[in-house]
Protein backbone atom coordinates (compact mmCIF):
# COMPACT_ATOMS: atom_id res chain seq x y z
CA UNK A 1 0.00 0.00 0.00
CA UNK A 2 1.22 3.51 -0.81
CA UNK A 3 2.86 5.16 2.21
CA UNK A 4 0.88 8.35 1.62
CA UNK A 5 -2.41 6.47 2.02
CA UNK A 6 -1.17 4.67 5.12
CA UNK A 7 -0.27 8.06 6.59
CA UNK A 8 -3.64 9.46 5.55
CA UNK A 9 -5.48 6.51 7.10
CA UNK A 10 -3.78 6.85 10.46
CA UNK A 11 -4.31 10.60 10.59
CA UNK A 12 -8.01 10.22 9.84
CA UNK A 13 -8.24 7.49 12.46
CA UNK A 14 -6.73 9.89 14.98
CA UNK A 15 -9.19 12.63 14.04
CA UNK A 16 -12.16 10.29 14.41
CA UNK A 17 -10.92 9.00 17.77
CA UNK A 18 -10.44 12.52 19.14
CA UNK A 19 -13.76 13.83 17.86
CA UNK A 20 -15.79 10.87 19.09
CA UNK A 21 -14.29 11.23 22.52
CA UNK A 22 -15.11 14.96 22.51
CA UNK A 23 -18.57 15.10 20.89
CA UNK A 24 -21.82 13.23 21.22
CA UNK A 25 -23.32 15.45 18.52
CA UNK A 26 -22.72 14.00 15.01
CA UNK A 27 -23.24 17.33 13.24
CA UNK A 28 -20.85 19.20 15.51
CA UNK A 29 -18.43 16.29 15.10
CA UNK A 30 -18.59 16.63 11.32
CA UNK A 31 -18.00 20.38 11.43
CA UNK A 32 -15.13 19.90 13.89
CA UNK A 33 -13.44 17.32 11.67
CA UNK A 34 -13.71 19.45 8.53
CA UNK A 35 -12.45 22.58 10.29
CA UNK A 36 -9.57 20.76 11.99
CA UNK A 37 -5.88 21.43 11.35
CA UNK A 38 -5.62 18.22 9.32
CA UNK A 39 -7.61 19.71 6.44
CA UNK A 40 -5.50 22.89 6.47
CA UNK A 41 -8.35 25.28 5.71
CA UNK A 42 -9.39 23.30 2.60
CA UNK A 43 -8.09 25.82 0.05
CA UNK A 44 -8.69 24.81 -3.59
CA UNK A 45 -5.66 23.31 -5.28
CA UNK A 46 -3.90 22.38 -2.03
CA UNK A 47 -3.32 19.10 -0.21
CA UNK A 48 -5.95 20.24 2.31
CA UNK A 49 -8.64 20.28 -0.39
CA UNK A 50 -7.43 16.95 -1.76
CA UNK A 51 -7.70 15.40 1.69
CA UNK A 52 -11.19 16.85 2.10
CA UNK A 53 -12.38 15.45 -1.24
CA UNK A 54 -10.96 12.05 -0.36
CA UNK A 55 -12.61 12.14 3.06
CA UNK A 56 -15.99 13.12 1.57
CA UNK A 57 -15.70 10.32 -0.99
CA UNK A 58 -15.32 7.95 1.94
CA UNK A 59 -18.38 9.49 3.63
CA UNK A 60 -20.47 9.20 0.43
CA UNK A 61 -19.52 5.55 0.11
CA UNK A 62 -20.28 4.98 3.79
CA UNK A 63 -23.76 6.50 3.31
CA UNK A 64 -24.48 4.09 0.46
CA UNK A 65 -24.63 6.66 -2.34
CA UNK A 66 -23.93 5.59 -5.91
CA UNK A 67 -21.17 7.32 -7.88
CA UNK A 68 -22.30 9.67 -10.63
CA UNK A 69 -19.69 8.39 -13.08
CA UNK A 70 -19.50 4.78 -14.14
CA UNK A 71 -16.19 3.32 -13.02
CA UNK A 72 -13.70 2.20 -15.62
CA UNK A 73 -13.10 -1.23 -14.17
CA UNK A 74 -15.08 -4.43 -14.37
CA UNK A 75 -15.67 -4.85 -10.67
CA UNK A 76 -19.11 -4.16 -9.23
CA UNK A 77 -17.62 -2.91 -5.94
CA UNK A 78 -17.82 0.87 -5.49
CA UNK A 79 -14.46 2.49 -4.86
CA UNK A 80 -13.94 5.67 -2.91
CA UNK A 81 -12.39 7.46 -5.87
CA UNK A 82 -15.42 6.74 -8.06
CA UNK A 83 -17.16 9.70 -6.41
CA UNK A 84 -14.47 12.16 -7.49
CA UNK A 85 -14.99 14.19 -10.66
CA UNK A 86 -11.76 16.08 -11.37
CA UNK A 87 -11.53 19.38 -13.22
CA UNK A 88 -8.86 21.90 -14.08
CA UNK A 89 -9.39 25.61 -13.63
CA UNK A 90 -7.49 28.87 -13.38
CA UNK A 91 -7.58 30.81 -10.13
CA UNK A 92 -7.24 34.50 -10.93
CA UNK A 93 -6.11 37.07 -8.42
CA UNK A 94 -4.72 40.56 -8.63
CA UNK A 95 -1.25 39.12 -8.04
CA UNK A 96 -1.02 35.95 -10.11
CA UNK A 97 -2.83 33.39 -12.22
CA UNK A 98 -2.61 29.81 -11.04
CA UNK A 99 -3.87 26.67 -12.78
CA UNK A 100 -5.03 23.97 -10.37
CA UNK A 101 -6.77 20.62 -10.42
CA UNK A 102 -9.80 20.36 -8.20
CA UNK A 103 -12.29 17.61 -7.39
CA UNK A 104 -16.04 17.78 -7.07
CA UNK A 105 -17.53 14.90 -5.08
CA UNK A 106 -20.78 13.58 -6.54
CA UNK A 107 -23.14 10.79 -5.51
CA UNK A 108 -26.63 9.71 -6.59
CA UNK A 109 -29.77 8.62 -4.77
CA UNK A 110 -31.94 7.16 -7.51
CA UNK A 111 -35.63 7.85 -7.79
CA UNK A 112 -38.25 5.19 -8.43
CA UNK A 113 -40.59 6.65 -11.07
CA UNK A 114 -40.32 5.11 -14.53
CA UNK A 115 -39.66 8.45 -16.25
CA UNK A 116 -39.07 11.02 -13.51
CA UNK A 117 -36.07 9.06 -12.20
CA UNK A 118 -34.17 10.41 -15.21
CA UNK A 119 -34.60 13.96 -13.87
CA UNK A 120 -32.20 15.14 -11.17
CA UNK A 121 -32.45 17.49 -8.23
CA UNK A 122 -29.02 18.73 -7.16
CA UNK A 123 -28.35 19.32 -3.47
CA UNK A 124 -24.97 20.96 -3.07
CA UNK A 125 -22.56 22.61 -0.66
CA UNK A 126 -18.99 23.73 -1.21
CA UNK A 127 -16.25 22.14 0.89
CA UNK A 128 -13.36 24.47 0.07
CA UNK A 129 -12.36 27.48 2.16
CA UNK A 130 -9.37 29.86 2.11
CA UNK A 131 -6.63 27.81 3.77
CA UNK A 132 -4.23 30.02 5.69
CA UNK A 133 -5.79 33.30 4.56
CA UNK A 134 -4.06 35.39 1.94
CA UNK A 135 -5.97 37.69 -0.42
CA UNK A 136 -9.37 36.26 0.49
CA UNK A 137 -8.90 36.78 4.23
CA UNK A 138 -10.50 39.66 6.12
CA UNK A 139 -7.66 39.48 8.64
CA UNK A 140 -5.84 42.82 8.50
CA UNK A 141 -2.36 41.44 9.11
CA UNK A 142 -2.59 38.90 6.27
CA UNK A 143 -0.43 36.63 8.40
CA UNK A 144 -0.45 32.96 7.46
CA UNK A 145 -2.99 31.74 9.99
CA UNK A 146 -5.35 28.77 9.65
CA UNK A 147 -8.86 29.84 8.64
CA UNK A 148 -10.97 26.85 9.79
CA UNK A 149 -14.15 27.78 7.85
CA UNK A 150 -16.55 26.11 10.31
CA UNK A 151 -19.58 28.05 9.12
CA UNK A 152 -18.09 28.69 5.66
CA UNK A 153 -18.72 25.98 4.73
CA UNK A 154 -18.19 22.97 6.96
CA UNK A 155 -21.72 23.73 8.18
CA UNK A 156 -23.13 23.29 4.66
CA UNK A 157 -21.28 20.00 4.20
CA UNK A 158 -22.54 18.74 7.58
CA UNK A 159 -26.09 19.61 6.45
CA UNK A 160 -25.49 17.94 3.08
CA UNK A 161 -24.38 14.69 4.70
CA UNK A 162 -27.30 14.79 7.14
CA UNK A 163 -29.77 15.31 4.27
CA UNK A 164 -28.15 12.52 2.23
CA UNK A 165 -28.47 10.12 5.14
CA UNK A 166 -32.15 11.04 5.61
CA UNK A 167 -32.94 10.71 1.90
CA UNK A 168 -31.22 7.33 1.75
CA UNK A 169 -33.49 6.09 4.53
CA UNK A 170 -36.55 7.46 2.68
CA UNK A 171 -35.50 6.81 -0.90
CA UNK A 172 -38.61 4.74 -1.62
CA UNK A 173 -40.52 8.05 -1.49
CA UNK A 174 -38.34 9.65 -4.20
CA UNK A 175 -39.69 9.80 -7.76
CA UNK A 176 -36.96 12.02 -9.21
CA UNK A 177 -33.32 11.20 -8.55
CA UNK A 178 -31.09 13.31 -6.32
CA UNK A 179 -27.48 14.29 -6.99
CA UNK A 180 -25.56 14.98 -3.77
CA UNK A 181 -22.64 17.28 -4.57
CA UNK A 182 -19.73 18.66 -2.56
CA UNK A 183 -18.21 21.45 -4.66
CA UNK A 184 -14.59 22.49 -4.80
CA UNK A 185 -13.25 25.99 -5.62
CA UNK A 186 -16.39 27.97 -4.73
CA UNK A 187 -14.23 30.63 -3.08
CA UNK A 188 -12.75 31.34 -6.53
CA UNK A 189 -15.84 32.41 -8.48
CA UNK A 190 -17.55 29.02 -8.16
CA UNK A 191 -15.07 27.31 -10.50
CA UNK A 192 -16.03 23.83 -9.28
CA UNK A 193 -19.75 24.15 -9.91
CA UNK A 194 -19.07 25.87 -13.22
CA UNK A 195 -16.98 22.88 -14.34
CA UNK A 196 -19.56 20.38 -13.10
CA UNK A 197 -22.43 22.07 -14.93
CA UNK A 198 -20.43 21.78 -18.15
CA UNK A 199 -19.87 18.08 -17.46
CA UNK A 200 -23.59 17.60 -16.81
CA UNK A 201 -24.36 19.26 -20.14
CA UNK A 202 -21.86 17.05 -21.97
CA UNK A 203 -23.39 13.91 -20.44
CA UNK A 204 -26.99 15.08 -21.12
CA UNK A 205 -27.82 14.89 -17.43
CA UNK A 206 -31.25 16.46 -17.01
CA UNK A 207 -31.02 18.77 -13.97
CA UNK A 208 -34.39 20.27 -13.00
CA UNK A 209 -33.57 22.12 -9.76
CA UNK A 210 -30.62 23.08 -7.56
CA UNK A 211 -30.54 23.57 -3.78
CA UNK A 212 -27.46 25.25 -2.33
CA UNK A 213 -26.39 25.16 1.33
CA UNK A 214 -23.77 27.75 2.22
CA UNK A 215 -23.12 29.08 5.74
CA UNK A 216 -26.07 27.47 7.51
CA UNK A 217 -24.39 27.11 10.90
CA UNK A 218 -25.46 30.27 12.73
CA UNK A 219 -29.26 29.95 13.04
CA UNK A 220 -30.35 32.43 15.71
CA UNK A 221 -32.88 32.00 18.51
CA UNK A 222 -35.67 33.48 16.36
CA UNK A 223 -34.96 30.87 13.64
CA UNK A 224 -34.28 33.49 10.97
CA UNK A 225 -33.44 31.73 7.73
CA UNK A 226 -32.59 33.48 4.46
CA UNK A 227 -33.63 31.86 1.19
CA UNK A 228 -32.41 33.26 -2.12
CA UNK A 229 -33.81 32.47 -5.55
CA UNK A 230 -37.45 32.18 -4.54
CA UNK A 231 -38.61 33.78 -7.81
CA UNK A 232 -36.63 31.45 -10.08
CA UNK A 233 -39.62 29.09 -10.18
CA UNK A 234 -43.34 29.71 -9.57
CA UNK A 235 -43.38 26.47 -7.58
CA UNK A 236 -40.90 27.65 -4.94
CA UNK A 237 -42.94 29.97 -2.73
CA UNK A 238 -46.00 27.70 -2.30
CA UNK A 239 -43.69 24.77 -1.57
CA UNK A 240 -41.65 26.76 0.97
CA UNK A 241 -44.74 28.01 2.76
CA UNK A 242 -46.30 24.56 2.89
CA UNK A 243 -43.22 22.78 4.22
CA UNK A 244 -42.51 25.57 6.72
CA UNK A 245 -45.78 24.92 8.56
CA UNK A 246 -44.02 22.12 10.42
CA UNK A 247 -40.81 24.06 11.15
CA UNK A 248 -41.84 27.70 11.62
CA UNK A 249 -38.65 29.31 10.39
CA UNK A 250 -38.75 33.09 10.09
CA UNK A 251 -38.11 33.15 6.36
CA UNK A 252 -36.51 36.05 4.54
CA UNK A 253 -37.37 35.17 0.95
CA UNK A 254 -35.11 37.00 -1.47
CA UNK A 255 -35.73 36.85 -5.18
CA UNK A 256 -32.18 36.88 -6.45
CA UNK A 257 -28.90 35.08 -6.01
CA UNK A 258 -25.93 36.69 -4.34
CA UNK A 259 -22.22 36.73 -5.09
CA UNK A 260 -20.59 33.90 -6.96
CA UNK A 261 -22.33 31.02 -5.21
CA UNK A 262 -22.54 27.50 -6.59
CA UNK A 263 -26.16 28.05 -7.63
CA UNK A 264 -25.27 30.63 -10.29
CA UNK A 265 -23.80 28.30 -12.97
CA UNK A 266 -27.04 26.29 -12.72
CA UNK A 267 -29.17 29.41 -12.99
CA UNK A 268 -27.33 30.41 -16.16
CA UNK A 269 -28.50 27.12 -17.69
CA UNK A 270 -32.14 28.00 -16.86
CA UNK A 271 -32.26 25.76 -13.77
CA UNK A 272 -34.24 27.17 -10.81
CA UNK A 273 -32.43 27.31 -7.48
CA UNK A 274 -32.88 27.87 -3.77
CA UNK A 275 -29.92 29.06 -1.69
CA UNK A 276 -30.16 28.63 2.10
CA UNK A 277 -28.11 30.87 4.39
CA UNK A 278 -28.31 31.76 8.10
CA UNK A 279 -26.67 35.17 7.69
CA UNK A 280 -23.41 37.07 7.71
CA UNK A 281 -21.22 37.57 10.79
CA UNK A 282 -17.95 39.19 11.76
CA UNK A 283 -16.08 35.85 11.73
CA UNK A 284 -16.48 35.57 7.95
CA UNK A 285 -13.13 34.73 6.29
CA UNK A 286 -11.33 35.06 9.60
CA UNK A 287 -9.53 32.55 11.86
CA UNK A 288 -12.39 32.98 14.37
CA UNK A 289 -14.89 31.03 12.22
CA UNK A 290 -14.60 28.00 14.51
CA UNK A 291 -16.72 24.96 15.35
CA UNK A 292 -17.54 26.10 18.91
CA UNK A 293 -19.68 28.91 17.45
CA UNK A 294 -21.83 26.56 15.37
CA UNK A 295 -25.50 25.95 16.17
CA UNK A 296 -25.66 22.24 15.37
CA UNK A 297 -29.32 21.96 16.35
CA UNK A 298 -30.03 24.69 13.81
CA UNK A 299 -28.22 22.70 11.13
CA UNK A 300 -30.27 19.67 12.07
CA UNK A 301 -33.55 21.61 11.74
CA UNK A 302 -32.54 23.08 8.38
CA UNK A 303 -31.50 19.59 7.20
CA UNK A 304 -34.84 18.10 8.18
CA UNK A 305 -36.68 20.90 6.39
CA UNK A 306 -34.63 20.61 3.20
CA UNK A 307 -35.13 16.83 3.25
CA UNK A 308 -38.91 17.31 3.33
CA UNK A 309 -38.66 19.90 0.54
CA UNK A 310 -36.64 17.59 -1.68
CA UNK A 311 -38.98 14.64 -1.18
CA UNK A 312 -42.01 16.73 -2.12
CA UNK A 313 -40.16 18.31 -5.04
CA UNK A 314 -39.24 14.87 -6.33
CA UNK A 315 -42.92 13.86 -6.31
CA UNK A 316 -44.30 16.80 -8.34
CA UNK A 317 -45.60 15.25 -11.54
CA UNK A 318 -45.54 18.38 -13.68
CA UNK A 319 -42.34 19.96 -14.97
CA UNK A 320 -40.49 22.25 -12.57
CA UNK A 321 -40.80 25.63 -14.25
CA UNK A 322 -38.00 28.18 -14.55
CA UNK A 323 -38.47 31.95 -14.32
CA UNK A 324 -35.60 34.19 -15.45
CA UNK A 325 -34.74 37.14 -13.25
CA UNK A 326 -33.94 40.67 -14.45
CA UNK A 327 -30.48 40.74 -16.01
CA UNK A 328 -28.89 42.86 -13.28
CA UNK A 329 -30.17 40.67 -10.46
CA UNK A 330 -27.96 37.61 -10.85
CA UNK A 331 -24.46 38.56 -11.89
CA UNK A 332 -21.05 36.96 -11.78
CA UNK A 333 -18.72 38.37 -9.16
CA UNK A 334 -16.81 41.19 -10.83
CA UNK A 335 -13.34 40.55 -12.18
CA UNK A 336 -12.42 43.59 -10.10
CA UNK A 337 -13.12 41.79 -6.84
CA UNK A 338 -10.04 43.51 -5.40
CA UNK A 339 -12.10 46.74 -5.07
CA UNK A 340 -12.77 46.85 -1.35
CA UNK A 341 -14.86 48.85 1.11
CA UNK A 342 -15.20 46.40 4.00
CA UNK A 343 -18.87 46.66 4.93
CA UNK A 344 -20.38 43.56 6.55
CA UNK A 345 -23.97 43.21 5.28
CA UNK A 346 -26.86 42.00 7.36
CA UNK A 347 -29.24 40.03 5.15
CA UNK A 348 -32.52 40.72 6.89
CA UNK A 349 -35.33 42.04 4.75
CA UNK A 350 -35.78 45.76 4.27
CA UNK A 351 -37.79 47.79 1.77
CA UNK A 352 -34.93 50.19 1.12
CA UNK A 353 -31.17 49.70 0.97
CA UNK A 354 -29.56 47.12 3.22
CA UNK A 355 -28.47 46.90 6.84
CA UNK A 356 -24.92 46.44 8.12
CA UNK A 357 -23.56 44.29 10.90
CA UNK A 358 -20.56 46.61 10.93
CA UNK A 359 -17.26 46.96 9.09
CA UNK A 360 -14.06 44.97 8.88
CA UNK A 361 -11.46 46.36 11.26
CA UNK A 362 -9.12 48.92 9.64
CA UNK A 363 -11.10 48.77 6.37
CA UNK A 364 -12.18 51.89 4.42
CA UNK A 365 -15.68 51.53 5.87
CA UNK A 366 -14.30 51.20 9.40
CA UNK A 367 -12.17 54.32 8.97
CA UNK A 368 -15.21 56.19 7.61
CA UNK A 369 -17.16 55.44 10.79
CA UNK A 370 -19.60 52.72 9.72
CA UNK A 371 -21.47 51.26 12.71
CA UNK A 372 -23.51 48.17 13.38
CA UNK A 373 -27.16 48.79 12.52
CA UNK A 374 -26.45 51.38 9.81
CA UNK A 375 -28.78 51.15 6.81
CA UNK A 376 -27.11 51.96 3.49
CA UNK A 377 -29.46 53.98 1.24
CA UNK A 378 -27.07 55.77 -1.12
CA UNK A 379 -23.59 55.18 -2.55
CA UNK A 380 -21.64 57.58 -4.75
CA UNK A 381 -24.71 59.80 -5.11
CA UNK A 382 -26.84 56.95 -6.45
CA UNK A 383 -29.82 55.41 -4.61
CA UNK A 384 -29.27 51.95 -3.16
CA UNK A 385 -32.41 49.83 -3.00
CA UNK A 386 -30.65 46.52 -2.44
CA UNK A 387 -27.26 44.98 -1.81
CA UNK A 388 -27.08 44.17 -5.52
CA UNK A 389 -27.43 47.90 -6.34
CA UNK A 390 -24.49 48.65 -4.07
CA UNK A 391 -22.34 45.96 -5.69
CA UNK A 392 -23.19 47.21 -9.18
CA UNK A 393 -22.20 50.78 -8.29
CA UNK A 394 -19.01 49.63 -6.53
CA UNK A 395 -17.95 47.68 -9.61
CA UNK A 396 -17.73 50.95 -11.53
CA UNK A 397 -14.93 52.24 -9.29
CA UNK A 398 -11.22 51.75 -8.78
CA UNK A 399 -9.00 51.65 -5.68
CA UNK A 400 -8.33 55.19 -4.48
CA UNK A 401 -11.66 56.65 -5.60
CA UNK A 402 -13.31 58.82 -2.95
CA UNK A 403 -17.09 58.41 -2.69
CA UNK A 404 -19.87 59.26 -0.28
CA UNK A 405 -22.13 56.71 1.35
CA UNK A 406 -25.37 57.76 3.02
CA UNK A 407 -26.67 55.60 5.86
CA UNK A 408 -29.66 55.84 8.13
CA UNK A 409 -28.62 55.75 11.78
CA UNK A 410 -31.41 56.04 14.33
CA UNK A 411 -33.63 57.12 11.39
CA UNK A 412 -31.32 60.07 10.66
CA UNK A 413 -29.31 60.26 7.40
CA UNK A 414 -25.53 60.33 7.91
CA UNK A 415 -23.10 61.02 5.05
CA UNK A 416 -19.78 59.18 5.24
CA UNK A 417 -16.73 59.75 3.05
CA UNK A 418 -15.02 56.56 1.92
CA UNK A 419 -11.76 56.06 0.01
CA UNK A 420 -12.17 52.77 -1.84
CA UNK A 421 -9.40 50.31 -1.05
CA UNK A 422 -7.88 47.28 -2.75
CA UNK A 423 -8.14 43.73 -1.43
Q: What is the pLDDT of residues 158-217, one digit of tens each?
A: 999 999 999 999 999 999 999 999 999 999 989 999 999 999 999 999 999 999 999 999
- Per-residue pLDDT tens for 310-323? 999 999 999 999 99
Instruction: Find the mean pLDDT for residues 318-337.
Output: 67
- What is the reported pTM? 0.85
pLDDT at 119 exceeding the cut of 60 = yes
- Paired with 143 in beta bridges are none
Domains of the chain: which residue ranges? Answer: 25-315, 339-422
331 pLDDT more than 60: no
Higher-confidence residue of 388 and 122: namely 122
CATH superfamily of 25-315: Zn peptidases (3.40.630.10)
Is the pLDDT at 254 greater than 70? The verdict is yes
What does pLDDT average to over the chain?
88
pLDDT (average), residues 260-265:
89
Between 136 and 413, name the one with better pLDDT. 413
CATH of domain 339-422: 2.30.42.10
Amino acid sequence: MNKQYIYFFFLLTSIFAISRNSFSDPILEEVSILSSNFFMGRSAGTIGAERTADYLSYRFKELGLEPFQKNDHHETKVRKKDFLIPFTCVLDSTISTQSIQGNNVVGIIRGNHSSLKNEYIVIGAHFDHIGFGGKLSYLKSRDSVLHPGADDNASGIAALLTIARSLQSKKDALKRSVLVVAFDAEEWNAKGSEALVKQFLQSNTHIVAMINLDMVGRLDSLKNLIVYGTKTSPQWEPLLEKRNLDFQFQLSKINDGFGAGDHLPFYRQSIPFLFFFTGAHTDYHRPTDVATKINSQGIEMISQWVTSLVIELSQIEEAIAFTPLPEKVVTKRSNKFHVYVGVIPDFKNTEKGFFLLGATEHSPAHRAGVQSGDQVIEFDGKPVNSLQDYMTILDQHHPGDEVTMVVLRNNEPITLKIVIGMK
